[in-house]
Amino acid sequence: MTRPPDLERRLLIRARAVITAQVAAAVTVVVALVGTLVYCMTIKGQDTSARRDLAVAVARADIAHPPPCIWLFELRGATLTTSPGAPADLPVRTALRRVAADHRTRVDRVTVGGRAYVVRTAFRDGMVRQAVIDLRYQAEERRRLYGALAAAEAAGLVAALLVGQLLSRRAIAPLGEALARQRRFVADASHELRTPLTQLHTRAQLLERRLRQDTDPSALADEVRRMVTGTRQLGEVIDDLLLSAQLRQARGLFGTVDLGALADGLIAAESARAEARELILQVRRRDAGPHIVRGVEPALRRVVTSLIDNAFGHTTPGGHITVTLARVGATVELEVHDDGVGLDPRDAERLFTRFARGEHGAGRRFGLGLALVREVVDGHGGTIEVDGRPGAGAAFTVRLPAEPSVRTDPAARPTGVEPAEPSTRTEPAEPADPVSPSPPRPAAARRSPSR
């Protein structure tokens, strides 16, 4: 059972949010661990440095000129000598008395007058020496480090959210595209197969009923022919659906395709239908080509077939349908022009929309035909335009990149087709009178559907 689009969208959004949160959490934890490690190493380094400086000061420093941020005190008997500028709350007399009594070196961390100090007291040369270092400078350094780590953590979190969002979108995009293709394929199949299947079912019921009535088998030939036609049309619909679903995976099957030969073959195949409908169907070439592109031949054949079929459905008896080929720079142009009922320029925005319904014409007014044309052309790196006006016909122009390995012969002369009666012909045209099958067209209507 297919999930509704809203539920699928919510699931995709939730999946992106989960991936983003996981990436952000992982990056945040890593940054926090690195920050904690740096902070601990900084504290350890400060303590080691303070103890080393105090040991050097007690052993060698001159009491009158102590190292920066360190004060020295000497207790010789009852006489206490102090470094210049020492705080009034120092020295730590308890440590002095203990070391004077037992001659054992002591290192203490004390708080005096609201300030933290590290104190080293040792007995040397018949006296007790005490070196004191103020820890407020180390505390300020740690605060700056803490602020920097906090800022790095915040920046890392923001970056992690952005990276997580980007990664989640890229990770979920194929899934979203697959779900969209699946939903579109189901919708296309449901819409396109409903009518032919219903027709086949009805005809099969009628055929069964007539057979039960012992009808002459020869009288059933027309009904059987219609069933055969219906199965063929059903097969064409399935081919359209499969081609639409597999087109993006078909790039590995690209080869050289001669659009001129393709158009000639299709025109020849449609000649009987053109005669039956009293239409003039022709191929014209503005130059000698070559009109070779890279692509999938069945897909490009379906493009030309759909455009010709669309022209058949919108051209009245006695009308003209012209397929024109031209090599323009690095592109090959294929134009299908008819002088039928035309189209309203206001329909340009909805042309080539799936299941779009037109206002004119006797052909198929909705379906995948022209929508698939656009997908195939886009999949081949080309463009498609449509121009026309009500009552003035329409022209569909497909432009595809020319095969780069095939070069145009500059000495070639243009050829064309000039039909003399309502049928399909191919005759050389005068080189001095190249055919321009369509009137000047505005570039307003681009990429457009079935009329």
pLDDT at 433 over 80: no
Report, in this order, helix, strand and coil percent for the chain, each rounded to 5. Answer: 50, 20, 30
Mean pLDDT of 193-220: 72
How many other β-carbons are positioned within 10 Å of the β-carbon of residue 100? 15
103 Cβ contact list (under 8 Å, min separation 6):
123
pTM above 0.75, yes or no: no
In this structure, what are the phi and psi dihedrals at residue 406, rounded to the nearest 5 degrees?
-105, 120
pLDDT above 90 covers a percentage of the chain that reads 22
- Given phi > 0 = left and psi -120 to 50 = alpha, else beta, which region is 330? alpha
pLDDT at 398 over 80: yes
pLDDT at 132 over 90: yes
Residue 162: CA count within 13 A, CB half-sphere: 5
Higher pLDDT, 197 or 59: 59
Per-residue pLDDT at 146: 87
Model confidence over 4-52: pLDDT tens digits?
567 777 878 888 888 888 888 888 888 889 988 998 999 999 999 999 9
pLDDT at 450 over 50: no
- pLDDT bucket at 252, cuts 50 / 70 / 90: low
User: Pick from 337, 343, 327, 315: which is nearest to 437 by CA?
Assistant: 337
Q: Is the dihedral of CA 256, 261, 267, 271 positive or negative?
A: negative
Mean pLDDT of 280-296: 89
Whether 372 contacts 450, CB under 8 Å: no
- State both tokens at 168: 């989640």
Per-residue pLDDT at 293: 92
Nearest-Å Rg of the Cα atoms of the chain is 44
pLDDT at 300 over 90: no
Model confidence over 360-393: pLDDT tens digits?
444 444 345 677 788 888 888 899 988 888 888 8
Per-residue pLDDT at 285: 92
- State both tokens at 243: 């081609």
Q: How far apart are CA 132 and CA 74, in angstroms?
A: 12
Q: How far apart are CA 309 and CA 365, in angstroms?
A: 11
Mean pLDDT of 138-166: 87
Mean pLDDT of 294-312: 86
Domains identified in the chain and CATH numbers? 252-425 (3.30.565.10)
